[in-house]
Chain A
């Protein structure tokens, strides 16, 4: 495949669904208005932890304009995204577990009346002690107080993995004259902050079928859960994903408002809409948990990593959500970027009385990558080695199985490192810039599609069908959710390339469960790889049908035919071409509308080992990223600017160069926000900054220039060799910045975000230490 040229892929193609977005004509869930539509609002708990003694909705129901009220008893079925985490109900039945937990929903002829009605619902509580840190939560021995009765000492799940022998590894490091370090790190709770808050409209029709338009990343999972909770067959439910204004992981499961909209529409016979306020998005959360990390790593004198021991405690909030996956990813993926022979991992997912955490771009890997890549720099210093060099020395090889049975196929981390080292002029900068300026390096990676389905199904993970009709247009049906990340364009490009037609012939219909075949959804960076493979397979199916007819027309064997640039011709004989249109019409004359289908199922060898928890971590491939950040620190204020970031991302093959660059820049940018400012703050269980004014996602003005380098390793199983590009570059930004700050002023910040205040404090401590040590050199790495 190496020297092959392409007509549609590998180019810079603007998003095919871009024009309606930039012209404002795209319809998002909140833009939908159906005749007679009602407006829903959710009553939420003001307490972090309390028993519900009584709920009285009668006054609310009597308020003129109120059309319906629902509470827990209307939908008591338990559900959750993971089969082992069915701990949610649409509304709280007996207890509330965080400030913002859902108690009831109201629909009315206006949003304002619905909101007034919430005030009329009387709830009597018995307030319980709230657990606001994992430490408090895990210390509780009284089963009556546990957040969920069946979760002992509020531990959702713990895992203890040991591969190889870490003690032997640490001994080896010491004996070689190398170094072993133990450090603690912290990552705060951060949120996705998509532009579009969650919104949905449900319409329960008189035939007993319900349609839900919802802003979601996972229409199929919403579809399944609705069937369980509403108690009707999946075939009676239609989930439609309209335009989605971003998700980043925060819309990857079923939420209360989606169930409430269906229930209230059934009750009233009218369509019902819910749109979250930004504050409600913070309560729905499902973002990154607070993560307390202890990390011990050994390296030999010559810079080989011998062992890693990690303990991770995640403050997961009040419900499981994807939590078990998050805690497993944090451990499992330690093995998939560097060659580490011995790994021990202890992970604890702990329940607390805060909004539930869940998946967020770079799921599970981000905090631990910050810790690991920071510690790697400290170890490099201890053994007197350039930190970039240390990373290069520990790269994996392509086509290996890691110590914990992860299958790595294509691997471009080493090339990513080399490319950013060169582009950033690393060798002339690291340790050589004046005090206050510095560079830092970091690496990261991510699964390119989880090899195991979270619903434990053996069905294909992606299905795509294609229809070509009398008009000659190619319609691609996919359940994969376009959420702004560009998957519609990618589907279109793959199909156009495979079929040899112009891109504008292709129209992608994405995510309507009544029309599009099942796809597990837009999470774990799986769409390009899995739905892309399914789309290519479907296009091949169509191509076979076309070639059969074209072969007759050309008097050729079908396997000698090539389709390209709207023509079909025998290999190496383009002068004998017939047009695509001609072949198509002939094919339709023979058998009617062309229908093709394709499916993708991960290969068994990619699905991981046999130990408990082995299901999470295996990806069908892995992407890699290396980054260098350059910073300037003001030592009087601790404030710093990130002057530039160089990033190299191994995406297998860039099907759409523009899209890859956009995704990589977006990842860097999102990582940067988390590095420098983002943090949810709580007081007595209340989110103190539930809005985008006080929750500090970075502004465009703060964006440094980002130089993106695409590394193509041509994955053997990806569609045209492609892997993911949307998540893998996020995590590296954070340690790259932390390491650059150390290079600039010699202080190491171990808890995120890296605020000016922390730098200033660390500088003062360092001055004191240096004074005690008679003021040796200000720049430690000089």
Chain B
């Protein structure tokens, strides 16, 4: 799969080795702007390339987000840094003392099928298994899914379409068609993995020219459809960590979409809960996706649920809380905002019920 994708990319670009010499000049059979493809062998090399080319460069992992956007001329990077040779970012490791570490280049299908993730961090496997369809999961990576561009029906369109519509705030324009008059971009964060990882209070490792840093995922995302996350143009997300105390939390990710495959979420809820041997819930965390410009942890669920019987009234209160946290706007034509808000509440109730029903 990787080779095929790269071959197709090569048609439309100048192919350079990591030293920068041109390997081949291919036919231009796809209407993409020209770019220089870099294929570093080490993370350090990749960081160096980003440092050199900065905002002119884009990282390529699975390509399932970037290549589509390039064909729509949403992205026109002069340089592409292909990460596929960085085997150091591919590993999935579990250590009882350090917890779970998933390399940013781990494929979504590998995560979904990983024995330890499935048995001890089920919320992650549940989310990974529901991303798009099987082909995309074989291509798409954990880092790519986390750093997915935000989505909007006025943005994820061809250059012709966007031009005909007068462009938009997020790309080449000054108006927001979702909230006209506003100065803020409401494009929806639509990754499936992020809520699952937020539910497990994950952290991520970021490498850059100023060294490595580690941030809480909750602090990584920014509720702004343009800025999206705290990541400098010369930084690379390298890995995700989940602390050992989250091992064996029950978990589930529920996703609303029109089709049972392929589609991005129109609303998504991840729930994780620590349930003791007596079957009592000791802690619970919940996060949402696709209903705001960033994935969101729902605050206050723990207080409502832990130590309380799981009555319909209580579930309804959680649903209400969730609906208050969600602010879906008309960033898609696949469902109305009111229905997405309804669904996010239903999914929250169902997630809790699935995890906490004795």
Contact = CB atoms under 8 A, between A and B. Distances in A.
Interface of A: 41, 44, 46-47, 99, 110-115, 277, 279, 636-637, 677, 681, 684, 686, 688-690, 693-694, 696, 698-702, 755-757, 760
B28 interface: yes
B31 A696 contact: no
A556 B258 CA distance: 69
Given A279-B158, A696-B334, A700-B261, A46 B12 contact: no
A696 B160 contact: no
B34 interface: yes
B262 A699 contact: yes
Interface string B141-162: 0000000000001001110110
A681 B262 contact: no
A331 to B, nearest CB: 32
Secondary structure dominating the interface of B: loop
Contacts of B153: 688-689, 694
A681 B335 CA distance: 12
Given A111-B28, A111-B29, 5 more contacts: A111-B30, A636-B346, A699-B133, A701-B261, A760-B342
Interface of B: 12, 27-34, 133, 153, 156-158, 160-161, 163-165, 258-264, 332-336, 339, 342-343, 346
Contacts of A115: 31
A172 B230 CA distance: 75
B50 to A, nearest CB: 26
Given A110-B28, A111-B29, A636-B346, A701 B260 contact: yes
22 contacts: A41-B31, A46-B163, A99-B164, A110-B27, A112-B31, A112-B32, A277-B31, A636-B346, A677-B258, A686-B164, A688-B333, A690-B161, A693-B156, A693-B262, A696-B258, A696-B259, A699-B133, A699-B261, A700-B261, A701-B259, A702-B259, A760-B339
Contacts of B34: 112
Q: Is the interface of A mostly helix, strand, loop or mixed?
A: loop
Contacts of A111: 28-31
Given A112-B12, A696-B259, A686 B160 contact: no
Contacts of A277: 31, 158
Contacts of A114: 31
B339 A756 contact: yes
Contacts of B133: 699
Contacts of A686: 161, 164-165
A679 B346 CA distance: 25
A585 B215 CA distance: 84
A46 B28 contact: no
Given A111-B31, A112-B31, A689 B333 contact: yes
Contacts of B264: 693
Nearest to A43: B160
The 7 closest A-B pairs by CB, nearest first: A46-B164, A110-B28, A699-B261, A701-B260, A701-B261, A699-B259, A757-B339
Q: Counting chain B CB atoms within 10 Å of each CB, which of A684, A690, A699, A700 scores highest? A: A699
B28 A112 contact: yes
A44, A689, A693: residue with the most chain B Cβ atoms closer than 10 Å = A693
Contacts of B259: 677, 696, 698-699, 701-702
A772 to B, nearest CB: 24
Contacts of A636: 346
Contact of B334 (A47, A112, A113, A694): A694
Given A637-B346, A688-B153, A694 B333 contact: yes
B260 A699 contact: yes
Contacts of A702: 259-261
Nearest to A679: B333
B31 to A, nearest CB: 5
Contacts of A681: 333
A108 B164 CA distance: 24
A693 B265 CA distance: 12
A694 B133 CA distance: 15
A44 B163 CA distance: 11
Contacts of B156: 693-694
Contacts of A688: 153, 333
Contacts of A699: 133, 259-262
A99 B164 CA distance: 8
Contacts of A99: 164
